[in-house]
C-alpha cells in the first residue's frame, strides 16, 4: 500500500494492541481502544455515499456498544462525500478539542542525526511507562480528571502491552529528568506510524524531538518498514517534522463526536 494512504488514515492500519478492537467495513474503518481520550476511538478511511445520516448512526452505535462515549472522525482528502466535514458538523460533531487540524506526512529518507546530549532509552519498565504518561499529561496540558482516569488504568495497561511487538515508546531525559516521549507502531501495510510524541515546554528547541524521530527512523530501517508516516498537528509538530524531511501529503481534520446523540458540545465537557 502507498505510504501516503497509510499516513492519511493510519489509525485504521496500525497493528492492534491488546485491548483494542477494529471492524473494517467497506465504507469506514472503526477502531476502539481502552483509553478514554477521544483519539483512542476512531472512524477513518471514510467512503460514504451521498446519504450519510444512516452510516453515521451505525458508527455511533458501534462505539456505544463498546462503552465508548467519545471518538473522532478522520476526514482527509480521500474521504467521501467531498463535503463530509461540513455534514458531520451539521450532525453534531465538532472540531476535536484536543487538536483538529493535522497534516498527513511521510518520511522515506534519512533524517538528521540526534544531538549528543540527549539521553534516549526504550521504555521497558513500568516506572518508565508511567514517566512517559506524566510527560504527556504535562506536555499536552490534559485536564486533571482525564489524567486521573488514565493513571488508574496504567498498571493493567502495562501488564497487557509491555511485550507488545506492534508498539513501543522512547523516553528522553536531560540530566536524568524525563522531558519528552515518542511512541511508534507497526502498521499492517508496513510503514511505521508515529503514534505521538511531546516535549515539555521548558525543554523545547533543543533537538530532543529530533532525537526521538531519529530513533524511530532507525527502527524503520532495522525492520525494513520503508517509511515513517504520521498525522502532525499543523500548529505544533508539523513545522518541526517538515524541517526534518517529512513531506506533506494531505490535510486531515479530526472531528470529535459522541456515541450517543450529541447534546452538550464536547468542548464544554473537556473545559468543565
Q: What is the pLDDT of residue 187?
A: 97
Taking the C-alpha atoms of residue 37 and residue 195, their distance in angstroms, rounded to an integer, is 14
Report residue 271's pLDDT band, with 50, 70 and 90 as the boundaries. Answer: very low
DSSP label at 191?
P
Report residue 201's pLDDT band, with 50, 70 and 90 as the boundaries. Answer: very high
Report residue 4's pLDDT band, with 50, 70 and 90 as the boundaries. Answer: very high
Q: What is the pLDDT of residue 232?
A: 96
CA dist 18 → 21, 87, 119, 243 (Å) = 9, 34, 29, 34
Which tens digits make up the pLDDT trace of 117-138?
889 999 999 999 999 999 999 9
Q: Tell me whether the omega of the peptide bond preceding residue 111 falls within 30 degrees of 0, making it cis.
A: no
Residues 13-17: what's their mean pLDDT?
Answer: 95
Residues 207-228: what's their mean pLDDT?
Answer: 96
How does 152-180 read in b/e, with b if 16+ C-beta sit within 10 Å? eeeeebbeebeeeebbbbbbbbbeeebbb
C-alpha cell at 63: 462505539
Which tens digits make up the pLDDT trace of 148-174?
999 999 999 899 888 899 999 999 999
Q: What is the pLDDT of residue 157?
A: 87
- 96 has a pLDDT exceeding 60: yes
CA dist 141 → 144, 231, 240, 256 (Å) = 9, 20, 20, 18
**With 0-12 CB in 10 A as exposed, 13-18 as middle and 19+ as buried, what is 202?**
exposed
User: Is 0.75 topped by the overall pTM?
Assistant: yes
Taking the C-alpha atoms of residue 107 and residue 237, their distance in angstroms, rounded to an integer, is 14
DSSP label at 17?
P
Residues 260-265: what's their mean pLDDT?
Answer: 56
Residues 62-69: what's their mean pLDDT?
Answer: 96
Report residue 262's pLDDT band, with 50, 70 and 90 as the boundaries. Answer: low
C-alpha cell at 158: 502495562
Residues 6 or more apart from 130 whose CB is under 8 A from it? Answer: 154
C-alpha cell at 45: 478511511
Q: In the predicted model, what is the mean pLDDT of the chain?
A: 93
Amino acid at each position: 500500500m502507498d505510504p501516503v494512504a497509510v499516513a492519511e488514515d493510519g489509525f485504521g492500519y496500525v497493528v492492534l494492541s491488546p485491548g483494542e478492537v477494529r471492524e473494517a467495513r467497506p465504507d469506514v474503518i472503526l477502531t476502539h481502544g481502552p483509553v478514554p481520550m477521544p483519539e483512542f476511538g476512531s472512524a477513518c478511511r471514510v467512503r460514504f455515499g451521498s446519504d450519510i445520516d444512516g452510516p453515521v448512526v451505525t458508527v455511533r452505535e458501534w462505539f456505544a456498544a463498546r462503552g465508548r462515549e467519545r471518538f473522532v472522525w478522520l476526514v482527509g482528502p480521500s474521504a467521501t462525500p467531498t463535503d463530509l466535514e461540513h455534514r458531520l458538523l451539521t450532525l453534531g460533531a465538532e472540531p476535536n478539542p484536543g487538536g483538529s487540524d493535522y497534516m498527513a506526512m511521510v518520511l522515506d529518507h534519512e533524517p538528521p542525526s540526534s544531538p549528543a546530549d540527549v539521553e534516549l532509552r526504550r521504555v521497558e519498565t513500568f516506572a518508565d511507562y508511567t514517566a512517559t504518561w506524566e510527560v504527556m499529561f504535562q506536555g499536552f496540558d490534559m485536564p486533571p480528571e482525564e489524567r486521573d482516569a488514565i493513571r488508574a488504568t496504567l498498571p493493567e495497561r502495562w501488564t497487557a502491552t509491555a511485550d507488545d511487538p506492534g508498539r513501543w515508546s522512547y523516553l528522553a531525559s536531560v540530566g536524568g529528568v524525563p522531558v519528552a516521549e515518542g511512541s511508534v507502531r507497526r502498521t499492517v501495510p508496513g510503514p511505521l506510524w508515529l503514534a505521538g510524541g511531546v516535549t515539555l515546554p521548558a525543554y523545547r528547541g533543543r533537538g530532543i524531538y529530533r532525537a526521538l524521530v531519529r530513533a524511530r527512523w532507525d527502527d524503520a530501517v532495522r525492520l525494513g518498514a520503508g517509511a515513517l508516516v504520521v498525522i502532525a498537528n499543523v500548529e505544533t509538530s508539523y513545522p518541526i517534522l517538515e524541517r526534518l524531511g517529512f513531506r506533506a501529503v494531505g490535510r486531515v481534520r479530526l472531528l470529535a463526536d459522541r456515541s450517543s446523540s450529541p447534546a452538550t458540545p464536547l468542548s464544554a465537557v473537556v473545559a468543565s
